[in-house]
Structure 1
């Protein structure tokens, strides 16, 4: 009975200790958050008051006739006015979260002169708030370093912010620096300047295939809207403008779920071949700065493409041209045909893209011209054919990884036999956006494509794309095989 009672007491004490530790961490943070109206902090002995002012983009949140940032500047002026009641007993420093290592004001005596000076400098009309997303932990570390360089003073750190949820994602880092500050004798006060979190929508994407924008040809815009609120947003309308003139179209979102992004696409026609500034605009809300997103589009009268075909009749080029621009008025693509010899005499900068179709080899000056063209941003597409010479592509075009061809080619096998009794398709598109148009029943013609010759990659080539910089990886080497 005694042992059982002793064990129960020990377990109870351990539980109470754990509860005390958790409560201590909570109190460390929660006890510090103050309302600006409750502040009377310039009292007592001579002290140094350091303000870390959050000037991140979220501080632009608006309600009524004020903003979170304007309220924060009002708190700073209120602190100075309180301290000026006992002139020359306080020091004041101001650090902005956007540049915490460069004090805006450093160790100034608090008196009426400073109050008047700061009231002018901290006017919301002239004191800028950034559009950046800033790191609160980095700001606290900078303030800690700044305070550590001073000895012998009573130190107070006032962090004035809207304290968004994202600021507290890394709670261990924040709790750690706050613990270090308080252990060093610094009194920390967290001052919240927003009454409550307000729903906010933002246009977070506006994109299009701007490389092929042509006058009079439909351009498909992709519009993304993010709902940062905890409740779903309904009947969200986004207007589209061209050079500030509202277009007679809108993008409608029936529902955008909480903390998620929804996307819609819409086609527009830009009729003038010039530079256009498109904008997707939401109705006004608490944070107007994220309600608009822009897209610059350089619209051409046509999209020039050069097709280089080595076959005498140009049959390969005609097939590709029909796929790209069967109706130039609908696609905006203007195709020019030439031979490998003619390639050397052309100014490649006049073309958005160059197609090389079944080209066996290229002269040295043509290779140099294509290399310069690609380095300047030109597009280059290769189509293999039966006349292609693997050794030339490996030595002159791949050039040990320094050339314009992506891989070293090995020796191609003899022509693959055609077996009319086999019903399996030769080409199976991968699950990738590049091949999306070739998948499913929408494109049954892929089943009629047959592979007659396959150029393998050189056996000595070290496959370096198993893991890419964007962390996309492949489980195994997926080399093509003829079925």
Structure 2
């Protein structure tokens, strides 16, 4: 009916025509007969153009879609549904009797069911975020992307270009029923990257991408990379739907760290540990119990008095294992909206004792005896430290990597091989403590051990110096800084350290200061400001040098002063702590082992943690160019303790344990809504939905949307209509128009009718 409006207007104008006898019209009628066909054709074309323009406006507003059979003529052979499903552990966010992941699965099932009811050719791909993250990790390690799409691996999509037929809803339901949230913190970026790698270039097939997530702020608050990936998708013609599976932010507690405090780790020696809990909510929480298990046995819970909103709180506790070996410490919170971040695991190796090498340059070994007595005093409370006293030659003749710390005591000089052995030991993460004495020579230390800052000795030396007696102020000789070795003496608890008297020490040049990029730091000074204890890093290891003696010859520290024993135990703990010891792994990273083929068989059996403990995988190690064996377990999607069972060549078994924990920041449940996403995704064409309100648009499956081509056609048609209307109308010259107007005014003044000269000629 709307299309017929121009025709009705034309007919109404025709009805208004009247026959009026007039001589002048005879001439015009004759002219009209000569041009009638041409004028009529222009009028019909103009009428048709206007009717077509109205029709195109209606069609553009109606968003017409070509059926896929017709769309195939334009290269649109089938519709490809691509569902990117967030299965990070924040999707386990629970409320009422459901969770974010359950709501997301309902949306996926709704899409698949409605798609199966359409007659068009369609395919369906379901890729979880954790699979994309695993694929990305394998790709970085050299795996070909096409193998990911064709081989059954843990990173293979659950559905990859599956044809949608009447039986598809049943297959999809079975697939979704077997899915649960992973313990990874995988985000959407890698899932978007995987689309083209798994499905190839868009080609002519229309794509509808459904990104179903909880849109947590940590991934979407600054989505620069995401915006680039989404823009690339939409530019390629994909229709994008962002579907939010949560509607509100809920409070959540998470254990963000579980670490041993610096100290000696040995069987039978109590070890202090520290647990950190973060409050991701907006209100403070009080009296938070953290349950403790040691090797599966319950221990008294650790209580945290209060945690302010958005902040963390720490609490220390002790563990004790009489037997040597690897032991598992597990801590967990009471149940809240997200369960995965309520748990934290740590595997710590407790050897039978900690071997320590004491190298004394004096044949009497007086410094070594005093230090040995401090490190292993005996008695009912063991320290777990096993000191071994040797001379300087030992460093050149024996391997050093078996010692957790090495002490150089009053050593006059070392040969070049001993210096290189110590530097290698330090670079690999060892710790070296140095005490000076009467036999030490400043020249040797400066030239061979310090070497202008290139060696491991922290400072250059000037020579032996006396600390004069202070009879007026009577200030303590020793002033300690804020350092793990001396932290216990800080504040008012330093009564014993204040009784230390130092008579002699090695001085450093007055102009010496550590460089801006140097790791050297003075951790204790004498009352005259001279450095007495200096620390520096060397490679992966640590060096602590005390510029006086360990024995009470240049000082009285080791003579019946309890602070000496405490400081030496703290120093040992500081030197023996290595960065790579007892590492906590992040869920999603592989377990990798490097084995000696002369000691181990190639088959390695991996056991999974917790409720997945019944699942096990046997993987054969492969040789490396270096001659060793390497084996990897890529599928670590759950937190807990993984075990690798190794078979040794001598017939014995060896079990290694690895603790895997979730990425705690994923427990921040702050989410972004539609308005916040619109601000951050400006310029991206997408449709935003809440999962609970998502309605499946079956019209998107009809084929190719031709509204945009029709809009361009409408613009061209309107331009053509204007040109045709101008051509079909009468446009007299300006001068003739002015003359005719003057004639009309004069005729009105005389009362005569103006007669065209051409009309008179026609009357004759």
CA distance in 1, matches of 2:504, 2:367: 15
Would you say 1:295 and 2:346 are equivalent positions?
Answer: yes
Would you say 1:92 and 2:143 are equivalent positions?
Answer: no
Q: In structure 2, which of residues 507, 530, 539 is the aligned counterpart of residue 482 of structure 1?
A: 530
Cα separation, partners in 2 of 1:190 and 1:341, compared to 1, 3 Å = same
CA distance in 2, matches of 1:239, 1:44: 62
CA distance in 2, matches of 1:438, 1:351: 28
Q: In structure 2, which of residues 67, 76, 80 is the aligned counterpart of residue 48 of structure 1?
A: 80
Counterparts of residues 172-321 of structure 1 (less than 5 Å): 185-194=237-246, 196-209=248-261, 212-247=264-299, 249-321=300-372
Shift of 1:225: 1.2
Q: Which has the higher contact order (CA 8 A, sep 6+)?
A: 2
Q: In structure 1, which of residues 107, 110, 114 is the aligned counterpart of residue 164 of structure 2?
A: 110
1:21 is matched with none
Which deviations, in whole Å up to 9, do the C-alpha atoms of 1:250-285 show, x marking residues without a partner? 100122222221110112322222321111122222
CA contact (8 A) 1:157 1:187 kept: yes
Would you say 1:149 and 2:192 are equivalent positions?
Answer: no
Which deviations, in whole Å up to 9, do the C-alpha atoms of 1:165-197 show, x marking residues without a partner? 323321566566656655665432221223543
Shift of 1:417: 5.0
CA contact (8 A) 2:86 2:129 kept: yes
Q: In structure 2, which of residues 476, 481, 506 is the aligned counterpart of residue 430 of structure 1?
A: 481
1:18 is matched with none
Cα separation, partners in 2 of 1:385 and 1:277, compared to 1, 3 Å = same
Shift of 1:432: 3.7
CA contact (8 A) 1:52 1:95 kept: yes
Cα separation, partners in 2 of 1:429 and 1:112, compared to 1, 3 Å = farther
Q: In structure 2, which of residues 105, 109, 112 is the aligned counterpart of residue 77 of structure 1?
A: 109
Would you say 1:122 and 2:172 are equivalent positions?
Answer: no
CA contact (8 A) 2:452 2:460 kept: no
Question: How many residues were matched structurally?
Answer: 428
Shift of 1:324: 3.2
CA distance in 1, matches of 2:197, 2:393: 67
CA distance in 1, matches of 2:287, 2:464: 61
Cα separation, partners in 2 of 1:413 and 1:362, compared to 1, 3 Å = closer
1:441 is matched with 492
Structure 1: gaps (5+ residues)? 1-42
Shift of 1:420: 3.0
Relative to the length of structure 1, the TM-score reads 0.74
Cα separation, partners in 2 of 1:414 and 1:232, compared to 1, 3 Å = closer
CA distance in 2, matches of 1:285, 1:412: 63
CA distance in 2, matches of 1:207, 1:393: 37
Q: In structure 1, which of residues 334, 356, 378 is the aligned counterpart of residue 386 of structure 2?
A: 334
CA distance in 2, matches of 1:211, 1:129: 38
CA distance in 1, matches of 2:227, 2:399: 62
Shift of 1:226: 1.6
2:463 is matched with 413
2:187 is matched with 135
CA distance in 2, matches of 1:54, 1:391: 65
- Report SS of the residue matched to 1:74: helix
Shift of 1:430: 3.1
Which deviations, in whole Å up to 9, do the C-alpha atoms of 1:381-416 show, x marking residues without a partner? 12233432344445544568776x254x54523524
Shift of 1:153: 4.4
CA contact (8 A) 1:274 1:300 kept: yes
Say what the alpha-carbon RMSD is for the aligned residues. Answer: 3.9
Shift of 1:79: 0.6
Structure 2: gaps (5+ residues)? 1-64, 69-78, 137-147, 150-156, 532-764
Cα separation, partners in 2 of 1:337 and 1:148, compared to 1, 3 Å = closer
Cα separation, partners in 2 of 1:161 and 1:461, compared to 1, 3 Å = same
1:38 is matched with none
CA contact (8 A) 1:273 1:301 kept: yes
Would you say 1:160 and 2:235 are equivalent positions?
Answer: no
CA contact (8 A) 2:330 2:344 kept: yes
Cα separation, partners in 2 of 1:116 and 1:281, compared to 1, 3 Å = same
The structure that has the greater radius of gyration is 2
Shift of 1:69: 2.8
